[in-house]
Amino acid sequence: MKREISPWPQLILASIVGLGVFSAHAAEPIRLTSDGHVKRDPVFFNAQRTELLYVLLEKPAQLRLMKLSLVNQSTTPLHPTETRSEFEPALSVNGRYLAYVQNRGNLSLALVIEDTVENRTSEVPPGGGFSGLRSPTFAPDNSCILFSYPEEGRQQIYSVDVQGKNRQTVIDSEGVNNWPQFSPDGRQFVFSSSRDNDYEIYVVQSNGSNPRRLTNSPGQDIRPRFSPDGSKIAFTSNRDGNYEVYVMQSDGSNLVRVTNHPERDDYAIWDPTGTSLLMISERNGSFDFYRTEVP
């Protein structure tokens, strides 16, 4: 199921869509915000892709969901009166459903699912002890939501429906399995796993079968994201001693390092054209959104 994308305003086209092919001598990433606050977990929040939903470290003990206009940089809290930490938001392709992780106290994390059409909220409650659900992602047809959950000494990937019911095991292996994301056609999903004693990128069929390892590096390869046409995967890696953004073909070939800076570049998401990435970058100790071209 594909979402129709409305034309972008001219300002967004100028500031987000790439201006050329990235090379070793390409210009620095373009800075889109200037507040410098610690932030994470961005997702586009409207069909026009002119608004982001992201997580702001508002207080030392609270992560807040925030909306950011890419037109005028205005920010507003999604849940202004919420006192609990909320993070790792995911939006369904048609924009109807929003999922996020909510802290219920003592590292007890629930998955909250909002139906914005029927104004209804469902949840998947946390288990016992210090555990919780992480990294939700919607199937393109809203048939299920994948999430990561620690259980029996491993961290596996499970699925529920959009009402938070019908829980099923999708990935079950040794180690930690996290950061799943469906391909645009919904036939497979990508994720990161430490099953081979190091975080690497894997891809599987949508039911969890036929896992294929796509990366092989001594560092951590995490947070993979399919491009809008499914041909490429962006991810974060510290294989070169620092967290940078990389892009490869969806079969793991043609790996390219996209960023190169002594501070951290992370949380990359694709713009609708697939020609550039939005990411959160640290520069001089400040954290802001940047746009960088993709080779």
Alpha-carbon distance 127 to 139, whole Å?
24
Q: Quick one: CA torsion of 38, 20, 74, 2, rounded to 10 degrees? A: -100
- Of all helices (H) and strands (E), which one includes residue 91? strand 86-91
Instruction: Give CA separation, 287 vs 41, 162, 166, 265, in Å.
Output: 13, 33, 39, 9
Residue 162's CATH number:
2.120.10.30
265 belongs to a structural domain: no
pTM (2 decimals)? Answer: 0.89
pLDDT for 129:
67
Judge whether 247 lies within some domain: no
pLDDT of residue 163: 97
What residues contact residue 104 under an 8 Å CB cut-off, 6+ apart?
A: 84, 110, 126, 132
Q: What is the pLDDT of residue 21?
A: 30
Domain that includes residue 201, residue range: 84-213
Q: Give per-residue pLDDT as tens, 49-86.
A: 899 999 999 999 899 999 999 999 999 999 999 999 99
Alpha-carbon torsion, ordered 136, 95, 78, 88, to 10 deg = 20
pLDDT band at 237 (very low <50, low <70, confident <90, very high): very high
> Domain total for the chain?
1
Percent of the residues in the chain that have a pLDDT greater than 70, as a whole number:
90
Domain contains 75? no
Give the model confidence (pLDDT) of 78-129 as tens digits: 999 999 999 999 999 999 999 999 999 877 899 999 999 999 999 999 877 6
Position 16 pLDDT exceeds 90:
no
Averaged pLDDT score across all residues of the chain? 90
pLDDT, one tens digit per residue, over 219-233 is: 999 999 999 999 999
The verdict on residue 182 lying in a domain is yes
- Structural domain includes residue 153: yes
**197 in any annotated domain:** yes
Which residues are CB-neighbours of 203 under 8 A, at least 6 positions away? 188, 189, 190, 191, 211, 212, 214, 250
Asked if residue 35 belongs to a domain, the reply is: no
Is residue 140 included in any domain, yes or no? yes
